[in-house]
Amino acid sequence: MATEVIVGRPRAESHTLRAEEERLRAHLEQRLAVRTRFAPLADVRALLVSPDRADRPKSLVVSSSASVAERIYLYVHVAAHIALGHHLPLVTIVEGAPGVTRFSDASRHREAEELARAIWWGQTDKGGLLGAPAFVQRSAMLRRLLASEATRGALRSLLIGMRHVYYDLRVERALAGSRLAAWLRDALCVTAVVSVAPQLSDRASAG
């Protein structure tokens, strides 16, 4: 049996981030009947296509250029659209590039952003298990640091630095089951997602 050897520094997209992406994708499929696939899309980040009948699965096409962190954001955002009932039969919801509001249904996207933020921080039960890890949701300090661009960048650098230290010292095996390691993994995951989707940050915590 082959042994997996970690060579050099850990990748920016951690195992935790990829596992979280898979978990959310499975949640969409099992709970919301959304089948996800990836395709090259020009100018568009994702398309949610609703079938003619509610009992048929919806299809989510995500740009193959979307990072793992961005996919997580898109899943939460799309789940918010569904919770708001925007997925009408034969309607396609188009997710444009961040900050681009050239689509006519901008107000629906704004509503979905509001709900996605509440789902992410566990402020509503509409999202099921789609939110950030519970202890990150409970950490007022992390939420405050993630709420502004400057502190978000500093936090990310600090967390990545801490992870490098662990790998360099070869202590990750000893730390693997520790609460600190779990905190670090989840904090990095949440920071990566909020960095690509700052609209998820908890603005009430800013300032």
Fill in the per-residue mask, 44 to 73: x = in contact with Zn ion (CB under 5 A), - = not in contact.
Answer: ------------------------------
**Residue 200 lies near Zn ion (rule: CB under 5 A):** no
Pick from 99, 119, 87, 124: which is nearest to 45 by CA?
99
Cβ-based nearer residue to Zn ion, 69 or 184: 69
Q: Can you tell me which residue has the tokens 């396609």?
A: 92
Q: Return the residue nearest Zn ion (CB atom).
A: 109
CA gap 68, 36 in Å, rounded: 13
Stretch that binds Zn ion, among 106-114, 115-123, 130-138, 167-175 (CB under 5 A): 106-114
Torsion of CA 108, 122, 38, 45, to 10 degrees: 40
**Residue 187 lies near Zn ion (rule: CB under 5 A):** no
The pair of three-digit structure tokens given for residue 134, joined into one six-digit string:
């519970």
CA gap 153, 151 in Å, rounded: 5
Stretch that binds Zn ion, among 21-29, 36-44, 47-55, 103-111 (CB under 5 A): 103-111
Stretch that binds Zn ion, among 35-43, 109-117, 149-157, 173-181 (CB under 5 A): 109-117
**Residue 115 lies near Zn ion (rule: CB under 5 A):** no
- Convert 86-110 to b/e letters by CB count within 10 Å (16 or more is b): bbeeeeebbbeeeeeeeeeeeeebe
**Residue 80 lies near Zn ion (rule: CB under 5 A):** no
By residue count, the chain amounts to 207
**Residue 112 lies near Zn ion (rule: CB under 5 A):** yes
- The nearest distance, CB 81 to Zn ion, in angstroms, is 6
In the list 25, 87, 109, 163, the residue contacting Zn ion (rule: CB under 5 A) is 109
Where do the H-state alpha helices sit in 14-105?
15-32, 68-83
**Residue 86 lies near Zn ion (rule: CB under 5 A):** no
Binding residues for Zn ion, rule: CB under 5 A, are: 109, 112
